[in-house]
C-alpha cells in the first residue's frame, strides 16, 4: 500500500510540474534572462514565427566566424557556412547543410506542434557577415526550409506552407569558439 501512495504523490507532483510549464526547459542552465544576454538577434519566418534576444531564455549556443547557433526557450536556429574571408565582412551562399536547421512551434491542422525544419540538400539562401571583431560577429542570413519533422520523433509533419523562408539578423554576438 505504501508503494501506491508514493506512486500517487509522484504522479501528482509530475503533473503539477507539467501544468506549471516545467516541460518548457526552464532550468537555470537553459540560458540567460533577456536583460543578461550579450548581443542581439532576431529570427523570423514566413509563417509569422519570431524569437529574439528579448524572448524568454535567450542563449548563444555556439557562435563562430562562420557559424551562428542561437535559441530562446525551445526555439533554435543554427547556420554554418563556408566561403567567407578569414577576416572582416563577407557574403556567401555556400551553406553547410548538415549544420543548418530551424526549430519552432507552428500551427498544423489547428494544433500547435514543435517541429525541426531542414533545408534542401543544396541550401537556397545567403549569409552575410557585416562585421567580425576579435570578440563578436554581426550580420544576417536567410534560407529556405523544405521539410519539417516532429521535434520529438522526427516523423515528417505535413506543413501546407512548405517551402518557407527563415531570416535572422544578429549584432555583436560574442564568439564562443
Query: 8 pLDDT exceeds 50?
Result: no
Q: Within 13 Å, how many C-alpha atoms sit on residue 45's CB side?
A: 24
Closest CA to 116 of 149, 153, 67, 155: 149
Q: What percent of the chain has pLDDT over 70?
A: 80
Residues 19-30: tens digit of each pLDDT: 334 344 333 334
Domain count along the chain? 2
Residues 77-135: tens digit of each pLDDT: 999 999 999 999 999 999 999 999 999 999 988 999 999 999 999 999 999 999 999 99
Are residues 37 and 25 part of one domain? Answer: no
User: CA 42 to CA 58: how far, in whole Å?
Assistant: 11
Are residues 118 and 147 part of one domain? Answer: yes
Are residues 129 and 45 part of one domain? Answer: yes
Are residues 110 and 36 part of one domain? Answer: yes
Residues 28-84: tens digit of each pLDDT: 334 445 557 899 999 999 999 999 999 999 999 999 999 999 999 999 999 999 999
Are residues 84 and 8 part of one domain? Answer: no
Give residue 33's pLDDT: 52
Are residues 68 and 8 part of one domain? Answer: no
Give residue 21's pLDDT: 41
Are residues 43 and 26 part of one domain? Answer: no
What pTM did the predictor assign?
0.80
User: CA 22 to CA 167: how far, in whole Å?
Assistant: 29
Are residues 94 and 14 part of one domain? Answer: no
Are residues 22 and 84 part of one domain? Answer: no
Name the residue with cell 534572462: 33
**How many other C-beta atoms lie within 10 A of the C-beta of residue 97?**
14
81: burial class by Cβ within 10 Å (0-12, 13-18, 19+)?
A: buried
Query: 10 pLDDT exceeds 60?
Result: no
User: CA 22 to CA 27: how far, in whole Å?
Assistant: 8
Name the residue with cell 547557433: 69
Domain extent at residue 21: 1-30
* CA 43 remoteness from chain centre: 8
Given a contact cutoff of 8 angstroms between Cβ atoms, the answer to whether 45 and 166 are in contact is yes
Please give the residue that has the higher pLDDT: either 65 or 4: 65
**How many other C-beta atoms lie within 10 A of the C-beta of residue 122?**
9
Are residues 76 and 156 part of one domain? Answer: yes
Amino acid at each position: 500500500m505504501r508503494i501506491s501512495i508514493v506512486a500517487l504523490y509522484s504522479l501528482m507532483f509530475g503533473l503539477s510540474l507539467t501544468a506549471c510549464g516545467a516541460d518548457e526547459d526552464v532550468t537555470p542552465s537553459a540560458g540567460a534572462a533577456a536583460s543578461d544576454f550579450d548581443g542581439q538577434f532576431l529570427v523570423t519566418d514566413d509563417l509569422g514565427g519570431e524569437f529574439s534576444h528579448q524572448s524568454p531564455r535567450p542563449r548563444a549556443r555556439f557562435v563562430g566566424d562562420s557559424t551562428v547557433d542561437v535559441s530562446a526557450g525551445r526555439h533554435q536556429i543554427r547556420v554554418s557556412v563556408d566561403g567567407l574571408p578569414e577576416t572582416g565582412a563577407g557574403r556567401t551562399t555556400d551553406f553547410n547543410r548538415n549544420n543548418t536547421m530551424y526549430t519552432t512551434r507552428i500551427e498544423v491542422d489547428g494544433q500547435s506542434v514543435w517541429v525541426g525544419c531542414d533545408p534542401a540538400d543544396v541550401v537556397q539562401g545567403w549569409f552575410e557577415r557585416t562585421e567580425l571583431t576579435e570578440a563578436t560577429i554581426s550580420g544576417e542570413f536567410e534560407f529556405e526550409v523544405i521539410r519539417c519533422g516532429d521535434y520529438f520523433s522526427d516523423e515528417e509533419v505535413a506543413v501546407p506552407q512548405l517551402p518557407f523562408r527563415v531570416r535572422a539578423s544578429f549584432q555583436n554576438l560574442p564568439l564562443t569558439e
